[in-house]
Amino acid sequence: MTTIAPDERVLHAARIASGNASAEESVRTTLARIADRNPKLNAYRETFDAHALAVAAALDRAPASAKAKPLAGLTIAVKDNIATTEGKTTCSSKILANYQSPYDATVVRRLRDAGAIMVGKTNLDEFAMGSSSENCAFGPVRNPHDTTRVPGGSSGGSAAAIADSLCDIALGSDTGGSIRQPAALCGAVGLKPTYGRVSRYGLVAFGSSLDQIGPLTRSVRDAAAVLQVIAGHDPLDSTSADTPVDDYLATLDQPIKGLRVGVPKEYVSEANDASVNAAVERAIDTYRSLGATIVDVDLPLTDLGISTYYVIAPAEASSNLARFDGIRYGYRAPLSRDEDLFDLYAKSRAEGFGAEVKRRIMIGTYVLSSGYYDAYYKRALQVRRLIKNEFDTAFQACDVLLGPTSPTPAFEIGKKSDPLSMYLCDVYTVNTNIAGICGISIPGGFATVGGSKLPVGLQLQAAAFAESTLLRAARMLERAYAGG
């Protein structure tokens, strides 16, 4: 079996904080690597070389007290649907191609305050709608393990960047799997925190009741360190929780005695790639060898997740994306003399949005329409409640749920041309968002497909605000796989 060695960048941050490493040198190395690799991967839409070097140099010169920050000097890649005052915030959409945010998202502010240095913005599926990072106004992102393949999505740029060491840490957003699935396909760690654990202020809304920002990293420790910084109540986001933030790092290396690992039988499906099921089997064996109890769990509503998700998320999106109307900012279509306000809206939006975004706006508008609301939107909310109840019951019997992140390893660019097959990529991840609980994808091995060695991800899920348990359980497996 292949061992996977985690790369714990927080150790590097500690060296920079103590003056034993140079942030500027670290930034230079990262920028050089980006310059070399990004033309092939298209992970970054833009980089902030001068800004990053200036911040790094200032950090190196700062007194020891000012350097003592948890993420000192770590380079960070930010998904381009998160508002930053540096550069543009495009959501990989033509409609925001030239949009510059006058404010930083709360997470960006917190990361800057923690010493992280923003090196650039990463590509995504337009407005985070997709599972392959092909729906991107600035070209598809490519998987560093095989550039003919997708990196997953929608946080494909962040996943490719973190997996290919084009940054120390990366931020993504996850509405139905958009952090975890690309992390799985690129061989990274991807954490989707509990809904409300991390402020959404500054995240360009897709499905507001499902969206969460989270880290993509090369180790569970880094994911814990980033969460430590970004978690907590934000007065600018009334859906962010008041629940106290645990000290994730303090307990990370303590294995959980008597850990109960639930394995839903619905997650080990014939429809999965054999390599995926094999990775889950190996994880079960490993946990067992670590003293954990394996619990059989039933989640019969798993299959309803995708259809529930594709009512709720587009409904919210259809409303969230109404602000892109060509009036105040963003793309405005040129009009002829005889065209009026309706044409301004219709043409700006028709020309500014890509096909997948328009498809979801239409679905969302439809399910909220008078006469259809009860049959679709209201019904979906009822199913959502049932799915949530199902998880609540499951978490009485186990501490974490184990399964695959994605049914398959990375697929070839252009391979999934019909929307439905693309939607099914998220079958194991959407329910985490629907239930509002937390989930993480960690590297679980490799599959050899057509001569390429492709990563396979494992997903762990835990109850709402049980990130501490989730991260410790993930760390147990990570350490075992690293041979530690």
Partner 1 sequence: MTAAHQATSESIHQTATIARTQLKVGLEIHVELATRTKMFTRVPNVAHPDYYDAEPNSLVDPVVAALPGVLPVMNRRAVEMAIMVGLALNCDIAEFSKWDRKNYFYPDLPKGYQISQYDLPLCGDGAIDIPTRDTATGDVGTRRIGIIRAHLEEDTGKLGHELPGGHHYAGSLVDLNRAGTPLLEIVTQPDFDSAESVVEFAKELRNICRFLGVTEGIMQKGHMRFEPNVNVIIETTDGHHFATPIVEVKNLNSFRSVRGAIEFEHKRQVEEWRKTGRVMGRGMKQTRGWDDVNLVTVLQREKEDAHDYRYFPDPDLVPVTVSAEWLESIRAQLPELPIQRKKRYMESYELPAKDAQKLVDERDTCFLFDAATKLSVMGTHGGGFGGEPKAGYAIAKLLLNNVAKRGNELGKEIGELGLSAAQIAELAVMKEKGTIGAQAVDPILAALATEAGASSESVAACAERLGLVQVRDDGQLDVWCDAAIVAQPQAADDVRNGKDAAIGRLVGHVMKLSGGKVDAKSVNERLRAKLGR
Least gap, CB of 157 to partner 1 (angstroms): 18
Q: How far apart are CA 264 and CA 253, in angstroms?
A: 26
Name the segment binding partner 1 (CB under 8 A); options: 164-172, 244-252, 366-374, 426-434: 366-374
Strand 44-47 to strand 452-462: parallel, antiparallel, or no bridges (unpaired)?
unpaired
- Minimum CB distance to partner 1 smaller for 58 or for 322: 322
Q: Contact between 370 and partner 1 (CB under 8 A)? A: yes
Least gap, CB of 207 to partner 1 (angstroms): 8
| DSSP letters for 371-434 | TTTIIIIIHHHHHHHHHHHHHHHHHHH-SEEEEESSSSSPPBTT---SHHHHHGGGTTTHHHHH
**Exposed e or buried b per residue across 282-299, where buried means at least 16 C-beta atoms within 10 angstroms of its C-beta:** bbbebbeebebebbebeb
Q: Contact between 94 and partner 1 (CB under 8 A)? A: no
Least gap, CB of 161 to partner 1 (angstroms): 21
Annotated active-site residue 369? The verdict is: no
Residue written as token pair 């994880």: 283
Annotated active-site residue 388? The verdict is: no
Among 49, 237, 351, 412, binds partner 1 (CB under 8 A): 237
Least gap, CB of 4 to partner 1 (angstroms): 35
Q: Which of 132, 154, 155, 468 is catalytic?
A: 154
- Minimum CB distance to partner 1 smaller for 15 or for 103: 103
Annotated active-site residue 154? The verdict is: yes
- Minimum CB distance to partner 1 smaller for 324 or for 353: 324
Residues between 2 and 41 that touch partner 1 (CB under 8 A):
none
The conformation of residue 133, written as its DSSP 8-state character, comes to S
Least gap, CB of 297 to partner 1 (angstroms): 29
Least gap, CB of 122 to partner 1 (angstroms): 16
Among 323, 339, 350, 414, binds partner 1 (CB under 8 A): 323
Total residues at interface with partner 1 (CB under 8 A):
44
Q: How far apart are CA 45 and CA 268, in angstroms?
A: 37
**Could you give phi then psi for residue 50, rounded to 5 degrees?**
-65, -45
Is 141 in contact with 43 (CB distance < 8 Å)? yes
Which strands sit side by side in the sheet containing 189-192, from one edge to the other? 44-47, 117-122, 75-79, 169-174, 212-217, 189-192, 438-449, 452-462, 400-404, 260-264, 293-297
Residues between 337 and 356 that touch partner 1 (CB under 8 A):
341, 345
C-alpha angle with apex 120: 119 to 126, nearest 5 degrees? 160
Q: Contact between 85 and partner 1 (CB under 8 A)? A: no
Binding mask 268-307 for partner 1 (x = CB under 8 A): ----------------------------------------
Among 2, 39, 63, 235, binds partner 1 (CB under 8 A): 235
- Minimum CB distance to partner 1 smaller for 34 or for 83: 83
- Minimum CB distance to partner 1 smaller for 95 or for 413: 95
Q: Contact between 243 and partner 1 (CB under 8 A)? A: no
Q: How far apart are CA 316 and CA 208, in angstroms?
A: 7
Q: How far apart are CA 327 and CA 413, in angstroms?
A: 35
Residue 343, CA distances (Å) to 292, 334, 349, 361 in order: 62, 10, 10, 18
**What are the DSSP E strand ranges found in 167-284?**
169-174, 189-192, 212-217, 260-264
Among 18, 293, 369, 382, binds partner 1 (CB under 8 A): 369
Residue written as token pair 């000192």: 72
Q: Contact between 49 and partner 1 (CB under 8 A)? A: no
| DSSP letters for 138-170 | T----BTTBTTB---SSSHHHHHHHHTTSSSEE
**Where along the sequence are the contacts to partner 1 (CB under 8 A)?**
82-83, 89, 91, 96, 99, 101-103, 105, 200-205, 207-209, 235-239, 315-316, 318-319, 321-325, 327-329, 341, 345, 365, 368-370, 373, 377
Q: Which residues are catalytic?
A: 79, 154, 178
